[in-house]
């Protein structure tokens, strides 16, 4: 056990949540993480409400442990999926890339524990006010769509603004990250990049390979100009994207067009030229494929050891 308010609220053994990665987080990955004692999430961005419903039903077959659904609020299907989670009796919902306020009342009435992802302490406080069970605060080290603040700056500032438990995300991939997050004021962590290389993660082998080979400086942020900053691995595609973003001759529409579908091309096709391989700055630390259970157990035992021995850092 590694009990915190987060494990108690979510009904899980360890305070480790798997990121709801679009086009990536399906029933297979979510159930593996949940079976290992963490919280697995199914991402809803990938397809429409029918796909999500099917994945929820599949996850119910694959695990008897709690799992959740992540709703990407910029998705054209967000409102439909918001309804599907109620119909299917999902117990935990996380949201990203916006405010879930329009759906909160219905979800709370349905008994759903809502954990929004936010990128500022102001929004964290707002989420508490509208009934969030926990808040996931995500620093800009994270992969995918990001805000401006780093995890190091964001977690303690959010801690001072809310009473509900904080789950830290962005730049966390091992026991040191978990221990550090606790010291900053979090009571759980969410990890995406580390779970990209889980054996149960069905992304294309090229994607896993790129994450495993990445070093600390191998991610960049695309999409700042069009207001959708996305952290991904440096590839011919992302370098070209940045070049076009920096070019005055290139219209915003052309830039938006370039990004459309690129995540699917990376995750499903492993397309090295046109794919957008989203990953966090911590990718350099991720060095091998392991089962979700191996990942979680390694992180928990390492964090436990670090926390117990923490006083060694002060000589006197
Ligand atoms: O949502 C994510 N990460 C994502 S979503 C995604 S799919 C996508 N693909 C192409 C372009 C854009 C997205 C890939 N990665 N993380 C959670 C997250 N939420 N990070 C930051 C935020 C956030 C940002 C602003 C949450 C709320 C927010 O509020 C703004 C507002 O509406 O006030």
Q: Give the pairing of strands 16-18 and 144-145.
A: unpaired
What per-residue confidence (pLDDT) applies to 46?
A: 67
Q: What is the mean pLDDT of residues 181-201?
A: 98
Is 283's C-beta closer than 6 angstroms to any atom of ligand 1? no
Structure tokens given for 214:
């990445």
What per-residue confidence (pLDDT) applies to 88?
A: 98
Superfamily of domain 5-201+286-313: Aldolase class I (3.20.20.70)
**What is the rounded CA–CA span in Å between residue 260 and residue 315?**
54
**What is the rounded CA–CA span in Å between residue 287 and residue 96?**
27
Q: What is the mean pLDDT of residues 188-203?
A: 98
Residue 1 pLDDT grade (very low, low, confident, very high; cuts 50, 70, 90): confident
Q: What is the mean pLDDT of the chain?
A: 95
Nearest atom within ligand 1 for CA of residue 259: 10
Q: What is the mean pLDDT of residues 120-134?
A: 98
Q: For residue range 226-284, list pLDDT tens digits in order.
A: 888 999 999 999 999 899 888 888 888 877 777 778 988 999 999 999 999 999 999 99
**What is the rounded CA–CA span in Å between residue 265 and residue 277?**
9
The answer to whether residues 135 and 121 touch, using CB atoms and an 8 Å cutoff, is no
What per-residue confidence (pLDDT) applies to 178?
A: 98
Is 41's C-beta closer than 6 angstroms to any atom of ligand 1? no
Q: What percent of the chain has pLDDT over 90?
A: 85
Is 69's C-beta closer than 6 angstroms to any atom of ligand 1? no
Q: In terms of C-beta distances under 8 Å and separation of at least 24 residues, what long-range contacts does 253-259 make, across chains too?
A: 255/223, 255/225, 255/226, 256/226, 259/222, 259/223, 259/226, 259/228, 259/230
Structure tokens given for 34:
């949940």
Is 97's C-beta closer than 6 angstroms to any atom of ligand 1? yes
State which of 18, 24, 44, 96 you would mutate to test the pocket of ligand 1, scoring each by most atoms of that ligand within 8 A of its C-beta. Answer: 96
Collapsing DSSP to helix, strand or coil, 21 comes out as: coil
> Could you give the C-alpha distances from 265 to 23, 156, 234, in angstroms and in order?
10, 37, 15
Nearest atom within ligand 1 for CA of residue 223: 11
What per-residue confidence (pLDDT) applies to 253?
A: 81
What per-residue confidence (pLDDT) applies to 250?
A: 83
Nearest atom within ligand 1 for CA of residue 74: 13
> Could you give the C-alpha distances from 249 to 226, 243, 254, in angstroms and in order?
14, 11, 10
State which of 137, 145, 252, 279 you would mutate to test the pocket of ligand 1, scoring each by most atoms of that ligand within 8 A of its C-beta. Answer: 145
Nearest atom within ligand 1 for CA of residue 144: 15
- Is the pLDDT reported for residue 97 higher than 70? yes
Instruction: Give 138 or 312, the one with higher predicted confidence.
Output: 138
Residue 183 pLDDT grade (very low, low, confident, very high; cuts 50, 70, 90): very high
User: How far from the centroid of its chain's Cα atoms is residue 146's Cα?
Assistant: 10
Domain boundaries, the chain: 5-201+286-313, 215-278
What per-residue confidence (pLDDT) applies to 248?
A: 84
Please give the DSSP secondary-structure letter assigned to residue 312. G
Which residue shows structure tokens 């994207």? 241
Is 98's C-beta closer than 6 angstroms to any atom of ligand 1? yes
Q: For residue range 98-114, list pLDDT tens digits in order.
A: 999 999 999 999 999 99
> Could you give the C-alpha distances from 207 to 170, 183, 212, in angstroms and in order?
19, 32, 9
Atom 13 (ligand 1) nearest CA: 145
Instruction: Give 227 or 64, the one with higher predicted confidence.
Output: 64
**What is the rounded CA–CA span in Å between residue 31 and residue 48?**
20
Using the mean position of ligand 1's atoms as its centre, give its distance from the Cα of residue 310 in Å. 34
Closest to 18 measured CA to CA, from 221, 188, 261, 262: 188
Instruction: Give 85 or 225, the one with higher predicted confidence.
Output: 85
Is 20's C-beta closer than 6 angstroms to any atom of ligand 1? no
Q: Give the pairing of strands 40-43 and 67-72.
A: parallel
Atom 30 (ligand 1) nearest CA: 98
Q: What is the mean pLDDT of residues 221-229?
A: 91
- Is the pLDDT reported for residue 48 higher than 80? yes
The answer to whether residues 284 and 214 touch, using CB atoms and an 8 Å cutoff, is yes
Q: For residue range 248-257, list pLDDT tens digits in order.
A: 888 888 777 7
Atom 24 (ligand 1) nearest CA: 97
State which of 75, 144, 147 you would mutate to test the pocket of ligand 1, scoring each by most atoms of that ligand within 8 A of its C-beta. Answer: 144
The secondary structure of 188-244 as a DSSP string is EEEESHHHHTBTT--S-HHHHHHHHH--TT-EEEE-TTTT--EEEE--HHHHHHHHH
Is 119's C-beta closer than 6 angstroms to any atom of ligand 1? yes
Q: What is the mean pLDDT of residues 34-51?
A: 92
Residue 150 pLDDT grade (very low, low, confident, very high; cuts 50, 70, 90): very high
Q: What is the mean pLDDT of residues 45-54?
A: 88
The answer to whether residues 255 and 245 touch, using CB atoms and an 8 Å cutoff, is yes
CA atoms within 13 A on the CB side of 316: 0
């Amino acid at each position: 056990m590694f009990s915190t308010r987060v494990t108690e609220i979510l009904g899980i053994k360890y305070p480790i949540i798997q990121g709801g990665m679009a086009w990536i987080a399906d029933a297979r990955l979510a159930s593996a993480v949940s079976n290992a004692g963490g919280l697995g999430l199914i991402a809803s961005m990938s397809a429409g409400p029918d796909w999500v419903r099917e994945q929820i039903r599949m996850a119910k077959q694959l695990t008897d442990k709690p799992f959740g659904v992540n709703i990407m609020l910029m998705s054209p299907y967000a409102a439909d999926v918001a309804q599907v989670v109620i119909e299917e009796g999902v117990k935990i919902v996380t949201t990203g890339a916006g405010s879930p306020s329009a759906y909160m009342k219905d979800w709370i009435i349905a008994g759903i524990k809502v954990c929004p992802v936010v990128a500022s302490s102001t929004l964290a406080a707002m989420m508490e006010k509208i009934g969030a069970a926990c808040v996931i605060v995500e620093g800009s080290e994270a992969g995918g769509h990001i805000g401006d603040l780093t995890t190091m700056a964001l977690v303690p500032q959010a801690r001072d603004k809310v009473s509900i438990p904080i789950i830290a995300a962005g730049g966390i991939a091992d026991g040191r990250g978990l221990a550090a997050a606790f010291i900053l004021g979090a009571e759980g962590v969410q990890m995406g990049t580390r779970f990209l290389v889980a054996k149960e993660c069905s992304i294309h082998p090229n994607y896993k390979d790129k994450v495993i080979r990445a070093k600390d400086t191998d991610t960049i942020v695309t999409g700042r100009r069009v207001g959708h900053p996305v952290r991904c691995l440096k590839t011919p595609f992302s370098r070209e994207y940045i070049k076009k973003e920096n070019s005055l001759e290139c219209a915003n529409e052309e830039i938006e067009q370039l990004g459309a579908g690129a995540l699917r091309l990376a995750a499903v096709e492993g397309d090295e030229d046109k794919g957008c391989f989203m990953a966090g700055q911590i990718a350099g630390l991720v060095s091998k494929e392991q089962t979700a259970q191996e990942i979680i157990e390694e992180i928990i035992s390492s964090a436990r050891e670090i926390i117990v021995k923490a006083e060694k850092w002060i000589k006197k």
